[in-house]
Structure formats: structure tokens, C-alpha cells
Chain A
Amino acid sequence: AQSVTQLGSHVSVSEGALVLLRCNYSSSVPPYLFWYVQYPNQGLQLLLKYTSAATLVKGINGFEAEFKKSETSFHLTKPSAHMSDAAEYFCAVSEGNSGGYQKVTFGTGTKLQVIP
């Protein structure tokens, strides 16, 4: 069964500092991996996704993530945090199943706080 583990339920960074949110996955088949962001009182929206093309994936708002098969990781980074990045971030793994559809499993989330 597929799963993702997000290390750190809360991360605080200073404005302008590097953002690093960790995600490790477990999947019996080559995974498709996603990062979603959720702002307060809003739904989740896609930041970026890895679908077995380039291992370094660039997303919206300056975020990027690198797929490392040897480490089963898909950590999310941003060189310089902005106040508007304060939100909750979810790592997710997707795989097809016998029913022919996409099953998406989410991690428990990491709340990012940006300190002025």
C-alpha cells in the first residue's frame, strides 16, 4: 500500500530564509508524487507534481521538489520564504489501481509559519 510520511507537523522559518519541508514515500510501484498547499479556510491546490520525467520539479510561487528514489524522498524547497507562504502543505502519493482510477493518499501535513 502506498503512503507518505511528512516529518515535522510545524516548521518555522524567518522571512527570506530557506524553506525545507520533508516528505518520504512508500509505494510498491513507481510513484507519482504531489505537493498541495492549503491556505486557511480554503481547499487544497496543487503546487507541483512528479510524474517520472525530470527528477527536479518546479512549481508555482517559487517552490520546487526533487525526487530521490534512493532516499524515497520528495522534499519541498523554496530559496527565500515570503510571508504569503504561511500555509499548510501536504505531500501526496498517487498510483493507479485495479479499478483503473487514480488513488491519492495524503500525508498528515506540515504547517509553515513565516516569521517577519
Chain B
Amino acid sequence: DTGVSQDPRHKITKRGQNVTFRCDPISEHNRLYWYRQTLGQGPEFLTYFQNEAQLEKSRLLSDRFSAERPKGSFSTLEIQRTEQGDSAMYLCASSLGRTGEATGELFFGEGSRLTVL
């Protein structure tokens, strides 16, 4: 097991284009998180999956953003009609936890850096 992997690591796109990021979590992990990190800020929560179910979405996640986790394995985060304000590092994390458990370690990928021109 090589940990959480994210692809691509870097993406440069023009305003208005669509982009998709992929996250492969640690194989036995049932929880998957997406965070966004901008310069000088800590990771901000975007969305959470328990297995294949998307259980929470932040209000930061506008209707241009969509995330999926088919079959409870890898996840994708798609941004439609990108805007310059979408430029950020998109972090994926996974963990293993039972319902109600809140003490687990999050394992992060190295992130996907998006630059919107």
C-alpha cells in the first residue's frame, strides 16, 4: 500500500474550462474527505464520503463542484466552468472509522494544485 494518491498533481486551465481530479484512498479506508487549501490558509472542508455515500457538503462547494465515489473506492472531484477563485490546492484524505468514532488519523495525499488563468 502506497498511501493516498492524487492525480494530476498540477493542472493549469483557462477560465471556463472543466477539470477533474482523482483520489485513490488507502484501500481499506471507508471514509474519504476532500479539502481545499489556499495560500496562507489551512485545509477547508469541502465534502465527505462514507463508503460510496456523500454525507456532507460544505457551502464552499457551489453547484459548479461535484464529487463522486462510485463503489466506495476512488473518488473524483469535478469543477465545471472554472473561475480564477478556484485556484487552490485540492487535498484528499482517507481514514478508517466506525460510526460515531472521531479519533482517527486522516491520511492525506500530496494534493492536486489547480491554477486557473
Among the stretches B13-21, B62-70, B79-87, B102-110, the one at the interface with A is B102-110
Q: Residues of B contacting A107 with CB < 8 Å? A: 42
A99 to B, closest residue via Cβ: B55
Among the stretches A11-19, A68-76, A77-85, A89-97, the one at the interface with B is A89-97
Contact of A43 with B103 at beta-carbon distance under 8 Å, contacts A9-B40, A90-B43, A102-B97 already known: no
CB of B11 to closest CB in A, whole Å = 15
B33 to A, closest residue via Cβ: A104
Give Cα distance in the complex from A100 to B104, angstroms.
13
Contact with B110, one of A32, A41, A46, A105 (Cβ below 8 angstroms):
A41
Task: Give the top 8 A-B pairs by smallest Cβ distance, nearest first.
Answer: A43-B108, A106-B42, A96-B102, A100-B99, A102-B102, A51-B103, A44-B108, A43-B110
List 16 other contacts, CB 8 Å, given A43-B108, A46-B106, A96-B102. A6-B42, A34-B105, A43-B4, A43-B110, A90-B43, A94-B102, A101-B99, A102-B95, A103-B102, A104-B33, A104-B45, A106-B42, A107-B42, A108-B41, A108-B42, A109-B42
